[in-house]
Amino acid sequence: MMTNPGNRLTQGQFSFLPDLTDAQIITQIKYALNKGWAVSVEYTDDPHPRNTYWEMFGNPMFDLKDPAGILMEINNCRKTFPNHYIRVTAFDSTRGWETPRMSYLVNRPMKEPGFGLVRQESEGRMIRYTVHSYATDKAEMERY
Amino acid sequence: MSEAQPKTVPATEQVDLEAEFKTSNIQEVLDKLDRELIGLVPVKTRIREIAALLLVDRLRKQFALTSETPTLHMCFTGNPGTGKTTVAMRMGEILKRLGYVREGHLVTVTRDDLVGQYIGHTAPKTKEVIKKAMGGVLFIDEAYYLYKPENERDYGQESIEILLQVMENNRDDLVVILAGYKDKMDRFFQSNPGMRSRIAHHIDFPDYKPEELLAIAKLMLAGQNYRFSAEGEKAFAEYLTLRMKMEHFANARSVRNALDRARLRQANRLFGRRGRPLNKDDLMTLEAEDVLASRVFREGRLDQDPA
């Protein structure tokens, strides 16, 4: 049954929509900057939903006023990792929040093989289920 | 430029420069500049020219007459206290009004903020500063320190190269203003011809005349709700003529320091005659004696602690 045609990864904001254009990304970054959040760029080639810690591309960018600098970093990251997942997160350091408030994909691999459902038989007739990314069968940097 | 490309109008149609001028509120900015900055004629002329260029550029765009975005990187040279930083601060606001930069904030840096301490430290440091300045104005004070000819392995050169690249490629995103003393900046440009050619506007800040300094002093006092008495003003004019001949005279900065000291003496004078009632005028007025107590008058020396 195809519930996710094209196997597009759906993580973070806007992931059910078509990919954001640069102009749309700028508007989203602008929103985060106006709220005083620190924006950072992260990438990974292991898109398992429980893989929360992606690699940081440079330091989080504090005290920026204009999205142009962040878009520059995004483009640098796209150039370095054209076939990785790249996401932009906006971190809110306000006491009580101290957490990412926004997170959305800005780059995805050309071909996304998606996830398979793995069934493990255990005691009795019990079945344990887990998802498995087909891409992670290969070594790092060869996955996409 | 942030706003969407305006619709083009047919070539036969006429556009109204006057109306465009009015809607942009530039006059207001220029008036404010005239009001709050005394003297500095070459600077104001150049700002007027830039304003006119950007305005005409906007009109040309309506006819789809595209031209390259003009480079507005600037170099301010002049003696200490001639208002380089103040003008840079205004520049952000002016360029924002003209729609040339998006945010109009000013990021002031010196060599320390750009150049790293070990190999591989400089590039990220410079880039971080540049990212912070995007959408506004990057003001590099005493820029000539970036280049140290006596040390060929100095990391300053790396920083200059990154700056050059950004000044060329990200012209829409930020305006770089270099500032420094004239002779040192000239030497800096001689050894970095690439930098010189990428900066379109070299603006020289002249020293202030005594009457301009007095006008500045009055403006500064008005900003802090003080004023001179008639004698106080005369005394301060005298003070200026004496002080200007002395060493370490830093134009408006020296004026500000002199005023701060006069305020100190005024407070002391009022405190000394406590018991008598004071009115608002007393609290606002700097008298001649507050100025004349300066050591500049008594000993012909600077007001400084002996230490």
The Cα B74–Cα B170 span in angstroms is 15
* CA nearest to B4 within chain A: A23
Quick: pLDDT tens for B98-148.
Answer: 788 888 899 999 999 999 999 999 999 999 999 999 999 999 999 999 988
The whole-chain average pLDDT of chain A stands at 91
DSSP-derived secondary structure letter, A98? -
Q: Answer yes or no: is A99 within a domain.
A: yes
What are the E-state strand segments in chain B? 74-78, 106-109, 137-141, 175-180, 201-205, 227-228, 285-286
Q: Answer yes or no: is A117 within a domain.
A: no
* One pLDDT digit (tens) per residue for chain B, 307 residues: 444 455 566 777 777 777 777 777 778 878 888 888 888 888 889 888 888 888 888 888 888 887 777 888 999 999 888 988 888 888 888 888 878 888 889 999 999 999 999 999 999 999 999 999 999 999 999 999 998 888 888 899 999 999 999 998 888 889 999 999 999 999 999 988 888 888 988 999 999 988 899 999 999 999 999 999 999 999 999 889 888 888 888 899 999 999 999 999 999 988 888 778 888 888 888 888 888 888 777 766 666 654 4
Of A58, A59, A66, the CB nearest to B136: A66
Total tally of structural domains belonging to chain A: 1
CB contact under 8 A, B132 and A64: yes
The Cα A13–Cα A87 span in angstroms is 10
Q: Which residues of B touch A70 (CB under 8 A)?
A: 131
Q: Answer yes or no: is A97 within a domain.
A: yes
Q: Answer yes or no: is A27 within a domain.
A: yes
Which long-range contacts does A134-141 make (Cβ < 8 Å, 24+ apart)?
Answer: A135/A45, A135/A46, A135/A47, A135/A109, A136/A46, A136/A48, A140/A45, A140/A46, A141/A45
A114, pLDDT greater than 50: yes
Quick one: pLDDT at residue B99? 81
Question: Within 13 Å, how many C-alpha atoms sit on residue A96's CB side?
Answer: 0
What are the Cα distances from residue B59, in Å, to B14, B16, B26, B51, B70?
Answer: 10, 8, 15, 13, 14
Higher pLDDT: A81 or A114? It is A81
Q: Answer yes or no: is A11 within a domain.
A: no
For residue B136, which of B88, B69, B169, B178 has the smallest C-alpha distance? B88
Mind telling me how many Å the CA of A111 is from chain B's nearest CA?
32
Mind telling me how many Å the CA of A78 is from chain B's nearest CA?
18
Residue ranges of A 66-125 with Cβ closer than 8 A to chain B? 66-70, 72-73
CB contact under 8 A, A72 and B102: no
**Residue ranges making up the domain that contains A83:** 22-111
DSSP-derived secondary structure letter, B13? S
Q: CB-based contact (8 Å) between B131 and chain A?
A: yes
Q: CB-based contact (8 Å) between B170 and chain A?
A: yes
Q: Which residues of B touch A63 (CB under 8 A)?
A: 132
Q: Answer yes or no: is A10 within a domain.
A: no
Q: What is the pTM of this model?
A: 0.81
Secondary structure percentages of chain A, helix, strand, coil, to 5: 25, 30, 50
Q: Which residues of A touch B109 (CB under 8 A)?
A: none
Looking at the DSSP assignment, which residues form a beta bridge with residue A87? A42, A105
For residue A117, which of A49, A36, A22 has the smallest C-alpha distance? A49
Of A58, A59, A66, the CB nearest to B134: A66
Q: Answer yes or no: is A119 within a domain.
A: no
Q: What is the value of ipTM here, to two decimals?
A: 0.80
Q: Answer yes or no: is A42 within a domain.
A: yes
CB contact under 8 A, B132 and A65: yes
CB contact under 8 A, B136 and A63: no
Of A65, A69, A70, the CB nearest to B105: A65
Q: What is the CATH classification number for the domain harbouring A63? A: 3.30.190.10
The Cα A81–Cα A85 span in angstroms is 8
